[in-house]
Structure 1
C-alpha cells in the first residue's frame, strides 16, 4: 500500500509530517481532515479514537497516530537520507530528545493561547490564559535557542525530522504573536531557512488549497472514504 497521511486543517501540527514525507522522497498520499468537524466525527475516530491529527496509514495498512510516532516511522525509512537514525545510536537518542522537547515543551507552550482563541474566552479568563501562554512560549523559545546555538540545524550540520516538526509548530506564532522571534536570532535564522524550503512551501500550499509543486513522492490527495480502501484513487 501507498502510505496516506491524514492531515488536519487549519494549521495542524501534521504540517511537520507533510514536510518530512516530502524530504523522504518516497511515494505517499494525503487526506485532508477538517478540524473540528471531521476530526471529531465517529468515522474518523474509528481510525484514531483520540480524534486528533495526524494519523498515518502505513504501507502495511496499519493506522499510526501521534506526531512523534509518525515522525519516527518516517525516520526509520529515511536513515539513508539522514532524516532519522538507527535505534541505539547516539544520533537516534539526540533526535528523540529534540522531538520530545518539541512535542511537549514547545507544542505545549501554545496550548493556553489556542484554548483562549478557539473557546471564545473573554475578560479575566482570556487575560490569564494569554499571559500564561506568552510566558511559556518565551521560555520555550529561549530554551530551544540555547539548544540550537549557532548550528545550521537543530541537530547540527544536517536537517532532520526535528527541523520538519519545528517549522510546523513555530509558525503558530504568526497567529498568536506571543513573542517577537527576532529576539532569538538563531531561531529566526532557522525559521527563515525552513520557510524558504520547497517542502515547506509545498505544505503551505496544500493547507491553503493552492497549486502545490512536490519535490518529493506526493501522488495526490484522496477523499476520506477512498483513503480507507486498499487501492485508493486520487480525489
Structure 2
C-alpha cells in the first residue's frame, strides 16, 4: 500500500492508523500547492480530487476520503482492534464519531486556513469549532478514548484535528478531558512515529 500524504494535513490520521496497524506501507509525499510528487509527477493523475489522503492498494485501486481509509486499514489489521467488528452497534458508533469529526470539526477548520477570509468571519468559525471541541470534552469524561478504553482510528482523526487547533492558535487549555486525551494519544509510539516521519 502507498499512502499519499502532506505533512500537517488530515492525512496524518490514516498515517497514524497505518503505524498502529503494523501493515507494510510506503509513504509518498505530495506538495498540495503545486499538486506534484517529489518526482515531479502530477498528483492529479493519481487522484483527480487533488486531495490527500489517498491510499493506493496493491491491486491498483485508489481509495480516498480519510474516514473510509482508516476503516479499511483497521479491517486489514483486525487483530489490532482499531475498529469494532463490522455490523456491530459499536462499529456504527465508530462511524458516528468519524462522521462527526469529518463534518463538524474538519470542515469547520477550512476557513481558518484561508487567507482571503476576513478576521470577523474567522471568529465565527473559531467559535463554532471551539463549541464542537467542548462537546467532545464532555464526552471524554471518565474515559481514555472516544470509544471508551480502547484506542480506535477515530482517536487518530481527533488527534489530527487537535494538532490543527494548535496551528490556528485555538485555546482549548480549559478543556481538561480533551487535553488529557491529546496527551495520551500523542504519547503512543505509533503516533510519535507518524509525527516524526512527517517532520
Q: TM-score category by the smaller chain?
A: over 0.9
The answer for unaligned runs of 5 or more in structure 1 is 209-235
CA deviations over 1:42-90 (Å, ceiling 9, x no partner): 8211221110001001132211111011111112112221102222111
Task: Choose from 4, 8, 12 the match for 2:2.
Answer: 4
Whole-angstrom distance in 1 between the partners of 2:58 and 2:41: 24
Larger-Rg structure: 1
The aligned length equals 197
What is the TM-score when the length of structure 2 is the normalising length? 0.92
- Asked whether the equivalents of residues 2 and 55 of structure 2 are also in contact (C-alpha less than 8 Å), the reply is yes
Q: Distance in 1 between matches of 2:130 and 2:119?
A: 16
Of the three residues 192, 206, 224, the one matched with 2:197 is 206
Structure 1 stretch displaced more, 143-152 or 56-65: 143-152
Correspondences of 1:24-173 after superposition (within 5 Å): 24-38=21-35, 43-116=42-115, 121=116, 125-173=117-165
| TM-score, with structure 1 as normaliser | 0.79
The one-character-per-residue Cα deviations of 1:114-145 (angstroms, maximum 9, x if unpaired) are 113xxxx3xxx522232112111211101212
The residue aligned with 2:18 is: 21
Q: Which runs of 5+ in 2 are unaligned?
A: none
Higher mean alpha-carbon deviation, 35-44 vs 130-139, is at 35-44
Give the Cα–Cα distance (whole angstroms) in 1 for the partners of residues 34 and 85 of structure 2: 38
- Contact residue 16 and residue 165 of structure 1 kept, 8 A: yes
Q: CA RMSD in A?
A: 1.7
Higher relative contact order (CA 8 A, sep 6+): 1
